[in-house]
A and B are shown apart, each in its own frame.
Chain A
């Protein structure tokens, strides 16, 4: 048993080194394929980041009547949290905080500054900024809850109707990014697998006569298919080494450029954080495709 395994491994390395052209072609195709899968992985990371960023920017605000005591508003906040489990974040903004934020935002705008001066007092109402997990229906439910709850008489207005269209559009965009991302990803992976399968098929095809001879001299099926499977593993492993290096360098170079557009997203950091997942994906995908293709093609010739 052990002798057979060591011989199978020896044959695999012999064939690998003696059929350099075929081996290089198979590795090259695998590299392209694994990089494609890696690209999808990075795309998924960027898409998740963008989705989260967009969703975080969406909120609804419940404005309370002027003079509503802060404690009443904080009590209302606790009650809202209890009755609406979909709420991700809820933040109390006092009239002073709202005034300060407005002033900072429009610093240097003399027209607005003059308008505020003319008003004479702080025109901002106390409010609660509410963020849910993103579904427009959840915002609608929260808005309804606010307007029908026991503290409804404290509320001046809820701005859901003004933001409804925007919320729905953003939700639709983020949902589509995820949905189409998955579909395109699956399609690309299928195409890539087909390409790899055909390349390995060509590699095994060139050994068709060899397989026939091995059968005639009495080699068992595993003795024949073993070296091809191990070659598939070798192809996958070498392709993985190239891919992990390429994706690391690529992430390192792109990271500063991307952080200009997406300040909170570090590409290289994402690579490092997900390093072992990436290793698993690249190594797993490469070797699995290599082994599967060899198995399927050799199986065909073993039946002839």
Chain B
């Protein structure tokens, strides 16, 4: 589903964040990519989303080389990926309902369908009573749940969770990770990028370990060892 083929990413003037990184993620997998801060985890997210091109090597999304994929296709790819981020990346001027509905509006979904899907996912995620609140009126945990709702509403084939628990307390952390496991069981591919040792050791799923921009380990049932 996703393939990194000898990917190197160098930021100007000469900072190599990823060095000759190769891995492949198959449909339905739950893969954690771990490493210390600044090791290139977010760069991997940006490369998958086509927000940047690798300096060397290629990134493939469903066999499409992102480097040569046109803009329209890249927009479509982004619309098929559910993203959950440490800083939530919510739209501050939109309400809870509008934040979730926005991703469907971007896809061109009909209004009736949007209402149905948005109501359903907000009900599931427990934010039904806050549909008219703005993100700043929510707690950190609620904001992250809103981000999860936004990721889920498009029924994504893949979810990228980039440090999703970075700003959360242990209770909310547990909640988010449980949710990701549940989503994965339903068949969605999950890529979790984190430096949270406890989560990784508890999950017992595939772990790719990055050190200094290089993959030093890729294990089917890995543990957090850096």
A207 CA / B89 CA spacing, docked (Å): 12
Q: A222 CB to closest chain B CB, in angstroms?
A: 10
Inter-chain contact B108/A217, CB cutoff 8 Å? no
Inter-chain contact B49/A15, CB cutoff 8 Å? no
Inter-chain contact B93/A217, CB cutoff 8 Å? no
Contacts of B77 in A (CB 8 A): 218
Interface size class of A (residues with CB under 8 A): 20 to 34
Residues of A within 8 A of B (CB): 3-4, 7, 14-15, 18-19, 207, 209-210, 212-221, 223
- Which residue of chain B lies nearest to A304 when distances are taken between CB atoms in the complex? B51
Interface size class of B (residues with CB under 8 A): 20 to 34
Contacts of A210 in B (CB 8 A): 91-93
- Which residue of chain B lies nearest to A220 when distances are taken between CB atoms in the complex? B75
Inter-chain contact A223/B106, CB cutoff 8 Å? yes
Inter-chain contact A213/B108, CB cutoff 8 Å? no
Picked from A3, A7, A213, A218, the residue with its CB within 8 Å of the CB of B91 is A213
Contacts of A220 in B (CB 8 A): 71-72, 75, 106
Picked from B93, B102, B106, B110, the residue with its CB within 8 Å of the CB of A19 is B93
User: What is the total of A-B residue contacts with beta carbons within 8 Å?
Assistant: 55
Picked from A4, A207, A218, A221, the residue with its CB within 8 Å of the CB of B103 is A218
The reply to whether the CB of B66 lies closer than 8 angstroms to some CB of chain A is no
Known A-B contacts A15-B93, A210-B93; the reply to A216 vs B49 at CB < 8 A is yes
Q: B107 CB to closest chain A CB, in angstroms?
A: 7
Known A-B contacts A14-B93, A19-B93, A210-B93; the reply to A217 vs B51 at CB < 8 A is no
Contacts of B83 in A (CB 8 A): 216-217
Inter-chain contact A218/B78, CB cutoff 8 Å? yes
A213 CA / B72 CA spacing, docked (Å): 17
- Which residue of chain B lies nearest to A7 when distances are taken between CB atoms in the complex? B105
Contacts of B89 in A (CB 8 A): 209, 212-213, 216
Q: A69 CB to closest chain B CB, in angstroms?
A: 87
A211 CA / B79 CA spacing, docked (Å): 15
Contacts of B62 in A (CB 8 A): none
Q: Which 9 A-B pairs have the closest CB atoms?
A: A218-B79, A218-B78, A213-B89, A219-B106, A217-B103, A18-B93, A218-B75, A220-B75, A7-B105
Contacts of A214 in B (CB 8 A): 91, 102, 106
Inter-chain contact B108/A4, CB cutoff 8 Å? yes
Inter-chain contact A218/B76, CB cutoff 8 Å? yes
The reply to whether the CB of B90 lies closer than 8 angstroms to some CB of chain A is yes
A3 CA / B111 CA spacing, docked (Å): 9
- Which residue of chain B lies nearest to A18 when distances are taken between CB atoms in the complex? B93
The reply to whether the CB of B206 lies closer than 8 angstroms to some CB of chain A is no
Contacts of B107 in A (CB 8 A): 218
> Which residue, of B49, B90, B103, B105, has the highest number of chain A Cβ atoms within 10 A?
B105
Q: A115 CB to closest chain B CB, in angstroms?
A: 86
Inter-chain contact B90/A217, CB cutoff 8 Å? no
The reply to whether the CB of B150 lies closer than 8 angstroms to some CB of chain A is yes
Inter-chain contact A216/B51, CB cutoff 8 Å? yes
A217 CA / B91 CA spacing, docked (Å): 11
Inter-chain contact B90/A213, CB cutoff 8 Å? yes
CB-defined A-B contacts under 8 Å, sample of 22: A15-B93, A18-B93, A19-B93, A207-B93, A210-B92, A210-B93, A213-B89, A213-B91, A216-B51, A216-B78, A217-B78, A217-B79, A217-B102, A217-B150, A218-B75, A218-B78, A218-B79, A218-B81, A218-B106, A218-B107, A220-B71, A220-B75
